[in-house]
């Protein structure tokens, strides 16, 4: 079992073995389930390593208490496959150093697969993330490149968001829906425009 401080941001790092698929062909999410509410954190997939930065759980689940155990898992999507290479329980309390290893035996041969183990719940090791452009810069770039007016952006629809994803190279319907789902989960206010901004920032992240 892993342990997290409910008041601090944490980084989970997974040691992985990836076979038969490139890092840029995968989209990963670390999901938490608490009181029938599921929340996802986008994962950064690199060669031999997957990392995810977790917001303080107190911000997501205001009523969560010390000692609470939440269910968590790592989901990986490709063009044609879906994997959950890691599932586990996380107990929220004061931070301590934890090392956990989880293994999963495969009963049927597969063309490729993913195995993961948690090597550290990181406080000291920080993941280097490319800085995201400011919101105004993102909207200005969209207006300049795509010819979208401010009124169109303010009243943007889900179909228009999917159209933007396709123009940006994300044409798989499953990944499009996953991005929409993650954006809605991570945007707490601001409506459709803020959801669209989240999607734009996610797609602008450099691929590993």
DSSP tag of 172: -
What's the rounded mean pLDDT across residues 62-79? 86
What gap in Å lies between CA 100 and CA 119, rounded to an integer?
6
Residues 72, 32 contacting (CB under 8 angstroms): yes
Task: Quote the mean pLDDT of the chain.
Answer: 76
- Within 26-172, where are the H helices? 57-60, 135-146, 150-154, 158-167
Distances (CA, A) of 130 to 37, 202, 206: 30, 11, 8
Angle in degrees, 0-180, between the axes of helices 191-204 and 135-146, rounded to the nearest 10:
80
Q: How confident is the model at residue 29 (pLDDT cuts 50, 70, 90)?
A: very high
Q: Is the pLDDT of residue 142 over 80?
A: no
Residue 53, strand partner residues: 11
Q: In the chain, at which residue ranges do the beta strands (DSSP E only) sit? A: 2-4, 10-18, 27-34, 37-46, 49-54, 69-77, 82-92, 114-122
Is the entire prediction scored with pTM above 0.75?
no
Q: Please state, in angstroms and rounded to a whole number, the distance separating the CA atoms of residues 94 and 7.
A: 9
- Beta pairing, strands 2-4 & 82-92: parallel
Average pLDDT over residues 103-109: 57
pLDDT band at 133 (very low <50, low <70, confident <90, very high): very low
Q: How far apart are CA 139 and CA 162, in angstroms?
A: 16
* 49 pLDDT above the threshold of 70: yes
CA distance 112 to 33: 28
């Amino acid at each position: 079992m892993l342990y997290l401080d409910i008041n601090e941001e944490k980084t989970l790092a997974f040691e992985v073995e990836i076979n038969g698929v490139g890092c840029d062909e995968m989209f990963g999410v670390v999901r938490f389930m608490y009181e029938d509410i599921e929340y996802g954190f986008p994962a950064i997939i690199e060669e031999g390593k997957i990392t995810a930065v977790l917001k303080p759980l107190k911000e997501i689940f205001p009523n969560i208490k010390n000692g609470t155990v939440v269910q968590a898992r790592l989901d990986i999507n490709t063009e044609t496959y879906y994997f959950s290479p890691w599932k586990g329980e996380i107990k929220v309390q004061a931070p301590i150093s934890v090392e956990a290893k989880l293994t999963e035996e495969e009963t049927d041969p597969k063309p490729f697969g993913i195995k993961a183990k948690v090597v550290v719940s990181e406080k000291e090791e920080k993941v280097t993330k490319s800085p995201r452009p400011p919101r105004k810069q993102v909207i200005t770039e969209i207006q300049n490149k795509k010819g979208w007016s401010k009124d169109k952006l303010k009243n943007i629809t889900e179909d228009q968001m999917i159209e933007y994803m396709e123009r940006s190279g994300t044409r798989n319907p499953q990944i499009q829906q996953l991005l929409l789902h993650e954006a809605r989960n991570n945007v707490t206010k601001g409506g459709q425009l803020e959801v669209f901004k989240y999607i734009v920032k996610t797609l602008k992240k450099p691929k590993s």
